[in-house]
Amino acid sequence: MSNSICNFIPAKNHTGNLKTVHFVYESDFHTLKQPFLRPIYYVHLVTGGTATLRIYDKEYPLAQGTLFFTFPAVPFTIAGSEDFKYLYISFMGASVSPLLSELEITLTSAVYPDFHHLIDFWMSSITRVNEKNANLLSEGVLLCTLSFINNGLSKTEEHRHPENLVEMLVDYIDNHYRDPDLSLKKLAAIFSYTEKYISHLFKSRMSIGFNRYLNNLRIRYAHELIGKRAYSISEIAALCGYSDPLYFSKVFKKRVGYTPSEYMNREERPI
């Protein structure tokens, strides 16, 4: 009787342009400057000690064997014990967002306990890294690790709850509303959900649409800057996240009833 195992593999190409950048064993964690704010994705595997990961106002316990992901432009902190250590792989590429979305790896579900079985694999792999095999080896470790995450089976219901996602969306918008690139598309990429889902969820929970909420924040800040009498209209537009001063003026007038120039010449009034 044959013991062979044969499975047909569906044709997919989510990893065609995935690129790893770092493969590091971080044993001197306490010397690192916090909060962390990174431009690309990271996956970490805790090898020793305990810690608390904080992403915005959410805290997650970390212990040996915990696997956790961090996302571009999303600040986080780690409060760890003296013996806290971990390995990490950083990665990037256009295929990353759809890949993580398929695996349901998001900001609200980024921590996975009980991955002790990967520690020896990661450790033995990093000791074999050299100039010739670094890319191939680190990509192999990353893809093998992702293969153990099966459509969110390791996630808790608390992490998956829509209310947590809304809170994190609001926190992100409140801290990044001056970013001219902030959009539903950018939020969808960061949180690994579709634009349509984020838009619907935000409006249903907040009773206000994303664009209106964002413009409210920006116009309130514009009002604050106008009151300082230190900036031109173009400078205020840029500081508030508007790349087009004319569009800024249009939004401001719709919200306040006056153009920024008209308002600047009037007595300061609350919005």
pLDDT at 155 over 60: no
d(CA 119, CA 47): 7
Model pTM score: 0.62
Which tokens is 50 given?
Answer: 């305990």
Categorize the per-residue pLDDT at 103 as very low, low, confident or very high, splitting at 50, 70 and 90.
confident
Question: All domains of the chain, ordered by start, with CATH?
Answer: 19-157 (2.60.120.280), 163-271 (1.10.10.60)
pLDDT digit string, tens, across residues 4-50? 444 343 444 445 588 999 999 998 888 899 999 999 999 999 999 99
pLDDT digit string, tens, across residues 115-133? 888 999 999 999 998 988 9
